[in-house]
Amino acid sequence: MPDLPLVTVVGAALAVTLAYTVFGLTGFGAAIVGVPLLAHFFPIRFAVPMMLVFDLCAGLLLGLRNRRDVDRGELLRLAPFVAVGMILGVTALVRAPERWLLGVLGAFVFAYACWSLLDRAVLRPISAGWVVPAGIAGGVFTALYGSGGPIYTVYLARRLRDAIRLRATIAVLIFCTAWARLALFSGTGLLFQPSLLNLAVVLLPCAVVGYFIGSHLHGRLSPRQAARAIWILLLASGASLVWRAASLV
């Protein structure tokens, strides 16, 4: 058992369970739900590498489905810009003050939740030139918070019209960036902070339980209602992080 207050361990357990309930219910969103919640108990530099441990275990347990449907052209086009963004992101994660990390995360989560709650028109295709800002921004937020998935999705949804190909491409991209983050976090020492791996082992069953709860709820809840509940939760979480960041000034 890690040497942490019981209330912190219980709070983290609930956060991880909820994050992976969302993942089991929707197939995405563990990091963008889990990291903001864990940031109420731990520094960002601790919460992000810990969530990576769960993401890697989920990827290994669940495997990569529909690999044959991946659009390799889009992946290869994104790869160099995502790599540049991840290097920038991990540099910021190591060097930036905690209040800036909290504030940017809170603002990003709040803005994404607002955007997701809007009823949007049919997405129009975009040119491949958008790969540069999308790849770099996605890489930065992937390294910083593990939350680059929404950015990749916004870009790829306007490039790939086939839903199966879109899901498969995003899944492989996120899986590959998780392993890249493992290398970056190992090299910078972020993964080997005191109590981090011990706590991750203790909380891993919570991720598994959450995933099975979400999988059980999938098909029993309206996807639209479930999504709206998640975005409302993120609105509150994002706003509270911005408030905390402002109070640290």
What is the structure's pLDDT at 191? 93
Inter-residue contact 41 to 29 (CB < 8 Å):
no
Q: What is the pLDDT of residue 47?
A: 94
Sign, CA dihedral 176-156-38-222, equals: negative
What is the pLDDT, as a whole number, of residue 211?
86
pLDDT of res. 122: 63
Provide the pLDDT for residue 61.
67
The reported pLDDT for the residue numbered 160 is 86
The domains of the chain are located at 6-243
Cα–Cα distance measured from residue 161 to residue 99, given in angstroms and rounded to the nearest whole number: 39
Q: What is the mean pLDDT of each run of 10 residues along the chain (249 residues)?
A: 81 93 78 89 93 84 67 92 96 93 91 80 79 95 90 87 80 87 94 92 92 80 74 86 82
DSSP state of 213: H
pTM for the structure as a whole: 0.87
> Which residues, 6+ apart, have CB-to-CB distance to 167 below 8 Å?
27, 66, 69
**Amino acid identity, residue 215?**
S
Token output for 54: 């769960």
pLDDT for the residue numbered 200: 93
Q: What is the pLDDT of residue 119?
A: 62
Q: What is the DSSP string of 73-134?
A: HHHHHHHHHHHHHHHHHHHHHHHS-HHHHHHHHHHHHHHHHHHHHS---PPPP--GGGHHHH
